[in-house]
Amino acid sequence: MSLRKSLAAIAATALLGAGLMTAAPAQAADPVTLNGAGSTFIWNYIDACKAGFNAATGNNINYTGGGSGAGKTALKNGTVDFAMSDSLVKPADEGKFSWAYVPVIAGPIAVAVNLPGVTSLNLGADVFAKIMAGQITKWNDPAIVADNKGTDSTKTVAVVKYKMLPKKVNGKIVKKNGKVVLVKTKVVTYKSVTVQTGGVKLPSTPISVYYRQDGSGTSEVTTKYLAAANPTIWNKAGSSTFSAAFPGTIPTDGTFQAASGSDGVANGVKSKVGAITYVEMSFAKERGLGLVSIKNAAGNFVAPTSAGASAFLSDFTPAANGIIVPNYVTKNPAAYPISAFTYALVRTDGKLPNGSTDRAKLTALKSFLTYLTETCVPLQAEKNYYAGLPATALDVAKRSISFVG
């Protein structure tokens, strides 16, 4: 059984066993199936939640992922009932109607590596920016070594040497045949030395960068972070297309590899020693990849965790239509700075993407979005490496959900 199916089964069992059914949405008189597509970042969370939603309402969720770009296209064409995206709809792609954004869930975008024996690594913002730009090409580069050298401490150690010294008896030098008798004598002196504890031993392995080939919200979030953290190198606007944000032309010597979807980049890194990528956390965990702690604007190396994402995403500016603009250089010392909200996109005129006013589907969609943003969070978010919305962001979500039907 796949991990996603196992998580779905566990979710349903947990709901029933914990007696949480009473707090869940009411059973629908005529169950419907909602079809969705888009962000692969949120895919594992949806799969973990949909069994519980089905048990509570009778409604089914069919979510096929495909990436944020594919989801927005499907939504515009009216071929799905909902789409999830980690990036915004471009004005040229909005169609003849306007969208509201429902922030659904938050989470860290992991920087994952394949370095045998290395389960965790530190990278400063500048160092990460140079790696992703192809300016640092080997894992034992001095800049990477400096970020992972461990902790220096001072220790007093004994230095033992042996010298031939005059033999003494009762304080008097012993002579034989008129010559001083020499004996081998241990001489101990002490000195202070610097000792390094911890740290990571890094190989000379070449670095291979895996990036998303398809339109991707994780690409947009990551490149926006890179542009904010090191605008000298990453001097273009962040983009859902990695190649569009890349400073210059992506190398064609094999050091950069394109792959589709979170599965694609995670599988690519798993198969290539020395590889690095950016990907939703659970995809990295499933494949046993090493995880990178990124130095935030407060100067701390922070690992990709639910708590780190919450700390980062608590510092944001609300914009129009439910859009949330995070502060990529927040000084929160606990913030993991490559974190994202995933949005559900809804029409502001109360219709489904294809223009339908199907009351059963609209009611089910509103119920499902509420389930994802509230009911399922304590059940599935943290254990699947996501984070619930900060209270102020949840208020934004509720306002946008009100547009549905």
Specify the fold of 110-149+201-305.
Answer: D-Maltodextrin-Binding Protein; domain 2 (3.40.190)
Say which CATH architecture domain 3-108+340-401 belongs to.
Answer: 3-Layer(aba) Sandwich (3.40)
- Residues ≥6 apart with Cβ < 8 Å to 349: 97, 98, 403
User: Smallest Cα–Cα separation from 371: which of 82, 153, 140, 85?
Assistant: 82
pTM over 0.85: no
CA distance 286 to 112: 12
Task: Kindly indicate the confidence band of residue 246, based on its pLDDT and cuts at 50, 70 and 90.
Answer: very high
Given a cut of 80, is residue 308 above it in pLDDT? yes
What backbone phi and psi angles, to 5 degrees, belong to 264?
-65, -50
Given a cut of 80, is residue 151 above it in pLDDT? no
Given a cut of 90, is residue 202 above it in pLDDT? yes
Q: Tens digit of pLDDT for each residue in 96-129?
A: 667 889 999 999 999 999 999 898 999 999 999 9
Assess whether the region 3-108+340-401 and the region 110-149+201-305 belong to the same CATH fold.
yes
pLDDT of 154: 59
Q: For residue 386, what are the CA distances in angstroms to 104, 218, 340, 379?
A: 11, 14, 10, 11
- Of 17-21, 74-78, 395-399, which range is least confident? 17-21
What backbone phi and psi angles, to 5 degrees, belong to 194?
-90, 125
Q: Tens digit of pLDDT for each residue in 43-73?
A: 999 999 999 999 999 999 999 999 888 998 8
Q: Tens digit of pLDDT for each residue in 334-393?
A: 999 999 899 999 888 888 988 899 999 999 999 999 999 999 999 999 999 999 999 999
What backbone phi and psi angles, to 5 degrees, belong to 52?
-65, -40
Task: Kindly indicate the confidence band of residue 179, based on its pLDDT and cuts at 50, 70 and 90.
Answer: confident
CA distance 328 to 198: 29
11 or 224, greater pLDDT? 224
pLDDT of 1: 39
- The number of residues in the chain equals 405
pLDDT of 20: 40
The number of helices, as runs of H, and strands, as runs of E, in the chain is 12, 19
pLDDT of 98: 77
Mean pLDDT of the chain: 87
Q: Tens digit of pLDDT for each residue in 252-267?
A: 999 999 999 999 999 9
Q: For residue 229, what are the CA distances in angstroms to 223, 281, 339?
A: 10, 21, 14
pLDDT of 5: 39
Task: Kindly indicate the confidence band of residue 155, based on its pLDDT and cuts at 50, 70 and 90.
Answer: low
pLDDT of 176: 84
pLDDT of 156: 65
The token pair at 149 is 């050298």
pLDDT of 93: 67
Domain boundaries, the chain: 3-108+340-401, 110-149+201-305, 151-197
pLDDT of 9: 43
pLDDT of 16: 40
Mean pLDDT for 204-231 is: 94
